[in-house]
Each structure stands twice: as structure tokens, then as C-alpha cells.
Structure 1
Amino acid sequence: MKRIIVASNNAHKIKEIKQILEALEFEVISLKEAGINVDVEENGNTFMENAYIKASEIHKLHKEDLILADDSGLMVDVLGGAPGVYSARYAGEHGNDKKNNEKLLAELKGKKIEERTARFVCAMVLITDDERVIKVQGEIEGYIKEELSGGGGFGYDPLFYVPEYEMTFGEMTEEMKNSISHRSRALSKLKEELQKIK
């Protein structure tokens, strides 16, 4: 069975990717599970640039495996696309969901719901070998609520409201979120490519 190393140590992200790709005959593992301890500097200007930087750095170390990297985040229209590539460290400290959400709410204070349009974006890069690089992107549109709602998910999930479902990502079950999220939309495109290279 071929291995896919996901160039991430984000447990939430790894879990989502494993669940969405489980039907395919690949062993999906994290950097930690692969015994890789590398801190890749993400200095790209776009999600796709960052995903490629991560994938290519890990590919140099593990050429026998497929390498998958994703970079994702939230883009709020009225904030000019912020937090964007800085989503995980919007408030200054990497991965502090509470502070990131507080900063976002402060930035949007007083804005009406129609001014709070946003989208989650997920860019993915899969390097299969030295010759082949597959790039896909998934997005989902929504609004930023005025307060946290729901205890599920991670990051900005309790603030991201999806009108068609009348709930935030934080209020959805894992299965529901995984069926409609930006990451699942990117992964469904990736699945089509993976089926060709089994």
C-alpha cells in the first residue's frame, strides 16, 4: 500500500484528511507518524504557495512516498481578505483559537450581517514524484457571526455560519462538516487524481 505523508502536525487536520480519504487504498500518516521533525517556514503570499513550500520540503526528505500539504484559512471580504494566510496566527500567537476569534470579532464590531461575508479556502498540493505535482483548491462561502456558536470543530469554526444549513461549522457534526467543508471540496478533487495513480 502506498503511503501519503501529510505535511502537518495539526491533529484536527490530519483526522479530517484521514476520514475523507479512508475509502482509497493509501496509508495516510502525519509527519510525526513518519518520524519527521521539520519546521517548514511558510512565507508564501497565497495558500497555494504555502502548500507547495511545505510539500516540496518534505518531498526532498521522503521521495519514496506521496507528499500532501494543505494550507487553509479564512478570508473576510470587508477585511480585504484577512486573516488569509495569517489565519492560524492572526492574533500573534500561532494556533491560539480563542485570541484569533476575539480579534476577528473586534475587527468586525458594528458590521451588519451582509457586510460579514467570508469564505474558507483550502489549497492542496500533492507531490507524487519528481515529475508530478497536483494542485487543487476548495472553497465554501458563509458569514461571520457576532458570537461563537457550537463547540465542535476548531479555529474559526464556531464563527463561520453556512446559510444553506443554518448553522456554523462549530454546530455541525464531524460527518456533516466533512461532507461540505473547503477541505472536503479540495480532497474530492484530489481523490479523482489519486484514483488515476493507484
Structure 2
Amino acid sequence: MQLYYASASPFARKVMVTLHETGQLDDVELLTATGTPLDATDMPTAHNPLGKLPALTRPDGPAIYDSRVICRYLDARADSGLYPDRTLWETLTLEATADGIMDAAVLMVYEGRCRPENLQSADWVNGQWDKISRALDAITTRWMSHLAGPLDMSHIAIGSALGYLDFRHDDRNWRKGRDALDDWFASFAERPAMKATRPVAV
């Protein structure tokens, strides 16, 4: 298999953490790719026509993409139980929440990088952060008991999302007023898989 990824991408990190946690890293050739919505020249568009990362080629079918699809595939391939039947809907909802956080956080970065300065909207950026803030509050008030349970994909997704907030939006101080989530992430970030996949600025 080949994984097209970028170290700075939180979606790619989610897949990389999954590879580490399920013992499949050695089964994958890692291929770096870079791009933006305005320039997909160096992106694996032959494998993902959307021009987004990550994308995974595999020997038993066409390439697959979207981190949720890839992680579900890797989980099934390793029979690792990251999508447990008993809490499947909770796990999927938390994974979707984490992906929404990552989507909004990446869009905030793109606003500064891809849009001319005179066209950038602080209100739009703050609107993206409002989505993130509401999601973090929901995790803190509704989902901490789930995060205290056995490792599943929601833990990996939330950990990747919070890591990206530290990486790109540390000035927003997502930890303020969310001590329980801060404590959880401090512990989760010490996992070998998280340490091995820390993003690198490009």
C-alpha cells in the first residue's frame, strides 16, 4: 500500500496514528504531497480527484480517500476493534466531531494563505473558531466518560484535532475553561503513536 500524506495535515495524522496503533506502519509506503485548494499540482489527483490528503492505494481495489474511510479500512484489515459494536454510534459521532474541528481549523489557515489580504474576513475566521469552540464544549460536557474508556477511533480523531489546534492555532488557547479535556489530551499526547506523528511546519 501507499499512503499520500503531509505531516502537517491533521487528517493524515489521524491515519498515521491508526497505522501505528494497529501495527500496520510497515505495510505502507509513505509518500509526501503538498498543495492547497488553489494548487493541486503536487497532490495525488490520480488517486483522489478531490485533490485532498490523505489517499491510500491498496492491492485489493482502487485507491480510497477521506481519513474516515481509510481508518475504517485499516481497522477492518487489522481487526483491531477501533470501531466497537457496543459504542459504534458514539465513536462515529465523536470522530465526525473531531473531523469537523479539523475542517474548520484548516479553513482558518487557508483563509490566511490562499485569499488575498484585502479579501480576508476576520468575521469568517472567527465563525470557524466558533464551530470549534462549540465542539470542544460539547466534548467537555458530554463525552469525557467515553474518552476515559478503551482506545477507539474517537480517541485518535480527537487527539489529532487537538494536536492541530496546538500546531496552528495555539494563540486561541482552546484549553481555557476545559480542564478535563486538557488533562485528557496531556495524557493521550504521550502515547508513542502520537509522539511519532507530531506535525512538522512547512
TM-score range relative to shorter protein? 0.3 to 0.5
The TM-score normalised by the length of structure 2 is: 0.33
